[in-house]
Structure formats: C-alpha cells, structure tokens
Amino acid sequence: MAVMISRPADPTEGIRKLLEAYRQEVAAHHPKHIARWPLLGGGWSAKVGHYEGWTIIVLKDSGGGGFMRFEGLGDLPAGFLPVALSSSSQ
C-alpha cells in the first residue's frame, strides 16, 4: 500500500491516518477479520520519501508480531514518477 500526502506532513502522522482510514474500510466490509488483516494485525515496515513537495509512504506487511520498522528514502529524483502530481491527486 502506498500513499502520497502533501508536504510538510509528519510521516508518522501520515502513517497513522492512512492505517486508520484503511482500518475503517476493512471494518466496514470484513469486521470479523480485522485483527488478522494485513497491516492491521501489527507488524509492518514503512518507507518514507519526498518527491516534488509530496511525502510518499509505502507500507508493507511483515506478517504480524507488532514490529514496526521505518526506512527513509530521502528526496527522490526528478522524473521518479511517470506522471505529474497535482493537488487533485491527493
């Protein structure tokens, strides 16, 4: 799962908001499975980078266990994405 948010958002706040929105969506459709659902059962890694004024967060499930790992991607080079970004992309 990946999301892009306007900079200068705090990446940890962006991750929290992303996971909460994901949790609400899963709960609406699969409430009995939420504790075992990828990313929501705990245990994920996050890669955070910046691109043309946006913060990019990539979350990957690591199979539970409650471990959360962060890696920085830094500033991504121009042309990294094959599409132009605008505020309507949020």
> What is the torsional sign of CA 90, 83, 48, 33?
positive
Q: Could you read off the pLDDT of 5-51 as tens digits, one per residue?
A: 665 557 777 788 888 888 999 999 999 988 888 888 778 888 888 88
CA distance 82 to 64: 33
This prediction's pTM: 0.65
Name the one residue in this structure whose structure tokens are 């266990």. Answer: 65
Name the one residue in this structure whose structure tokens are 């910046």. Answer: 50
Q: Could you read off the pLDDT of 48-66 as tens digits, one per residue?
A: 888 877 888 888 888 766 6
Residue 38, C-beta contacts closer than 8 angstroms, at least 6 positions apart: 61
Residue 15, C-beta contacts closer than 8 angstroms, at least 6 positions apart: 46, 57, 59
